[in-house]
Every structure is written in structure tokens, then in C-alpha cells.
């Protein structure tokens, strides 16, 4: 015949279940924070690379004008590529206005990357890498589309 657990044993079981629950929640929060920081770092690196590419493209366009190449800017970025790079560098709302853009526009891309990094950190490594690449391609497409439409809408 089995005995009913004593009140002290049932309280101990509840405490251990509660501690395990807190441990899982803490691990998820740590993964979210780590993924968010990695996403933020990726966004800042991409933004820096995009700013360098924009500076090189501006120099290319100035050289093309000085050499009177006219519309033959084949060595420089196409308009679509330039919009994409500007959207990565300054946010989609600042496209077409060199050095312009509000704080919200400048912060939009890093915050989105940080949130995406936090979500992807909850997945397994393989799923996170594949998902990250897919999300990166989709996000770049969305940024390019937003940049393209902002030229005609704004």
C-alpha cells in the first residue's frame, strides 16, 4: 500500500517544479538577449559596409560627371542597388536624401535586426542559420521595395 505524500514532500516537489520553470524562462531570456545583440551587431556591421559602399559610389558618380561619361555609369551602382544600400545604411525613410533621415529612420533597421535575432535565437542552430539567411534575403527585398517606393511617394 502506498502512502500519500507528506505536506513537506509535496511542497518540495512544487518548489523544484517552480525552480525548473524559472530556469527554462531564464535560459529563453538569455537566448533572446544574445540573439538580439548578435542581430544588432549584424545590422551595425551591414550599415557600416553600406556607408562605405555609398561613399565609393558617390566618388564613382563624381568621377563619371567630371569625365563626362554622361549616362554611362556602368562602373557605379544602379539606381536599385543604390536604393538598397541607402536603405541599409540610413533606413528606408532616408533614401535619396544624403545625410538626412530622422532618428527613427536610423534606428529602424538595427531594431528590426535585433528583434529578428532574438526570435531566431530560440530555434536550434541549424534552423536559426537557415531561417536567418531566408529572413535576411526577405528583409533586403523589403528594404529595397520601401526605398524604391519612397522615391516616388515622398
pTM: 0.70
Q: Is residue 37's pLDDT more than 90?
A: yes
Distance CA 105, CA 123 (A): 29
**Predicted confidence band of residue 71 (pLDDT cuts 50, 70, 90):** low
Q: What is the mean pLDDT of residues 104-110?
A: 78
CB 15 within 8 A of CB 85: no
The x, y and z cell numbers of residue 17, run together, are 517544479
pLDDT band at 144, cuts 50/70/90? confident
The HSE-up count of residue 154 (CA atoms within 13 Å, CB side) is 13
Q: Of residues 89 and 6, which shows the higher confidence score?
A: 89
pLDDT surpassing 70 at residue 8: no
Query: Do 35 and 119 contact (CB within 8 A), yes or no?
Result: yes
CA distance 125 to 87: 29
- Does pLDDT of 147 surpass 80? no
Amino acid at each position: 500500500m502506498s502512502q500519500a505524500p507528506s505536506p513537506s514532500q509535496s511542497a518540495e516537489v512544487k518548489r523544484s517544479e517552480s525552480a525548473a520553470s524559472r530556469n527554462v524562462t531564464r535560459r529563453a531570456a538569455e537566448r533572446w538577449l544574445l540573439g538580439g545583440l548578435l542581430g544588432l551587431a549584424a545590422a551595425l556591421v551591414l550599415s557600416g559596409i553600406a556607408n562605405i559602399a555609398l561613399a565609393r559610389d558617390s566618388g564613382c558618380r563624381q568621377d563619371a560627371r567630371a569625365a563626362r561619361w554622361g549616362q554611362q555609369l556602368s562602373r557605379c551602382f544602379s539606381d536599385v542597388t543604390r536604393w538598397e544600400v541607402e536603405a541599409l545604411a540610413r533606413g528606408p525613410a532616408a533614401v535619396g536624401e544624403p545625410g538626412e533621415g530622422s532618428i527613427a529612420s536610423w534606428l529602424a533597421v538595427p531594431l528590426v535586426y535585433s528583434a529578428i535575432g532574438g526570435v531566431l535565437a530560440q530555434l536550434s542552430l541549424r534552423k536559426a542559420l537557415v531561417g536567418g539567411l531566408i529572413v535576411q534575403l526577405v528583409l533586403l527585398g523589403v528594404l529595397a521595395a520601401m526605398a524604391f517606393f519612397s522615391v516616388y511617394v515622398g
